[in-house]
Structure 1
Amino acid sequence: MTTTTSTSKPGTVDAAAKASIGAAARELHLPTVRTEATRLAEIADRERHTHLGYLAEVLAAEVDDRTERRRTRRINDAKFPRLKRLAEFNIDAVPGIAPATLGHLAAGHYMDAGEPIVLLGDSGTGKSHLLIGLGLAACEQGRRVRYVTTAQLVNELVEAADERVLSRVVARYGRLDLLCLDELGYVQIDPRGAELLFQIITEREERASVAIATNLPFSEWGTVFPDPRLVAAIVDRVTFNAHIIETGTKSYRLRTSKTTTRTKRAT
């Protein structure tokens, strides 16, 4: 009786295994497994991991990479004009804001309850920084976020109405976990635009959060929206169960610059 011995060399077997892993990873849409399998196999061999240990490492790498890709995609989809984190906000420059308040909002529980946030203050007092920081924190928690200025949103809604796709656009904004609406009060809105914006706010009422940054106190919103009844309805919706933060009247950028200068001199 003749015994047949395999003549395959280890290198040949490994090459075939790599090709098989690559093909399977492409079929299953696992790009990190495809690129990291060999490197992690070398580590597993060197550190004498079990087969299950190696498999766990490969899958963990895929999960981590996929999580990071989703985080990056959410941030890109939010369309922030720049990235500003809450941790970078100089709380000492705005003494009227309690650190505990920002910490509470950063946790994101207000979104679970569909509660609004209103940031009130003069130009340059840090409203946009806080608005973007809250939006970025929400993205990193896996939330769907969109940043837009009030003028941009109104223009988008008017164009959608003209093209008869308004319901689709309103529904898209309605699916967001957080709508960050900046610069309310800088541009006067005509009656049609005001009514369209009201649709967005109504779509989200008590269901999904909107965070608004404005340079006007509520009593002056009538200078932005021409219809007094519409103003009252909008204010009612964005202040119900709202977190209202006043950033004051003194320039945040100027105070932050002075604080930084003093710190540099001290060191």
Structure 2
Amino acid sequence: MAATGTNTTTTTSGRNVAAELAYLTRVLKAPSLAASIDRLAERARAESWTHEEFLAACLQREVAARESHGGEARIRFARFPARKALEDFDYDHQRSLKREVIAHLGALDFVTAKDNVVFLGPPGTGKTHLSIGLGIRACQAGHRVAFATAAQWVARLADAHAAGTLQGELIKLSRIPVLIVDEVGYIPFEPEAANLFFQLVSSRYERASLIVTSNKPFGKAHMFA
């Protein structure tokens, strides 16, 4: 008779199934599956799953765990200044914002289309919250994201320019599907800084998405259209 639980680890053929599973999940680097396989096996026996159903459940558990872990890794890579979810946005505080617009953006079609998103408004209206919320949603959906203020992006590009690696830096950044540029217009750009920033924007045109927040009216933010 085959093993029916974690206390019985061998079969009539003498195989130590628990040890084999521990070894195989370790080689496959599937710790989440290793931790849940006994519970899945018990449920499979109780509900008379087919072998295919049991295998699918095991694979689904590991895929879900890897997607979750991958999302957390991408969130750390993005360097968000805080963790903000779209679901936590206070629409009562900002009544002029339409929920359906944010819901549409939250579907992330703009990332696939390589379009840009611009949030404009005075300080305290939740622009950064929304940009982070979209960024986290993108991370969880499998997209790489990078967050920085406009001043920080310009400083990074200025360092690359001084080192003679500006084009390489722009190419590297263009491979990140979503860049978030926070606080455009809070500090006026000098001509050289403005030129570097323009190169960042133009290098991503129809290649990858930007999410921009600014306190400037739309007419003064036309460069991001």
> Do both share a fold (TM > 0.5)?
yes
SS in 2 for 1:125: coil
Which residue in 2 is equivalent to 1:189? Answer: 189
- Check 1:150–1:45 CA distance in 2 against 1; reply closer, same or farther (3 A cut): same
Is the contact made by 1:91 and 1:97 (CA closer than 8 Å) also made in structure 2? yes
Question: Does the 8 Å CA contact 1:78/1:146 hold for their aligned counterparts?
Answer: yes
With the length of structure 1 as denominator, give the TM-score of the two structures: 0.72
Q: Tell me which residue corresponds to 1:13.
A: 10
1:174 maps to 2:160: no
1-structure distance, mates of 2:38, 2:53: 14
Note closer, same or farther for the CA distance 1:151–1:19 as it changes in structure 2 (3 Å cut). Answer: same
Paired residue for 1:147? 147
**1:40-99, CA deviations, whole angstroms, 9 ceiling, x for partnerless residues?**
223333444343332222112111111111221222222111121222222232232222
The one-letter amino acid paired with 2:44 is A
* Range that drifts further, 55-64 or 92-101: 92-101
User: Going by fraction, where is helix more abundant, 1 or 2?
Assistant: 1
Larger radius of gyration: 1
Deviation of 1:172 after TM superposition, in Å, equals: 2.2
Q: What is the SS of the residue equivalent to 2:56?
A: helix
* 2:52 corresponding residue in structure 1: 52
In the other structure, the counterpart of 1:124 is: 124
Aligned length: 216
- TM-score, normalising length from structure 2? 0.84
User: What is the alpha-carbon distance in structure 2 between the residues aligned to residue 61 and residue 193 of structure 1?
Assistant: 48
Aligned to 1:211: 211
Q: Work out whether residues 18 and 38 of structure 1, in 8 Å CA contact, stay in contact via their aligned partners in 2.
A: no
Q: Percent identity?
A: 35
- In the alignment, is the contact (CA less than 8 A) between 2:121 and 2:214 conserved in 1? yes
Hey, what's the Cα distance between the residues in 1 that align with 2:212 and 2:181? 5
**4+ residue runs of structure 1 moved beyond 4 angstroms?**
218-221
The change in CA–CA distance for 1:33 and 1:103 in structure 2 (over 3 A counts) is closer
Which structure ranks higher in relative contact order (CA pairs < 8 Å, sequence separation ≥ 6)?
1
CA RMSD, Structure 1 to Structure 2 (Å): 2.3
Check conservation: 2:106, 2:137, Cα contact below 8 A: yes
- 2:32 and 2:65 in contact (8 A); partners too: yes
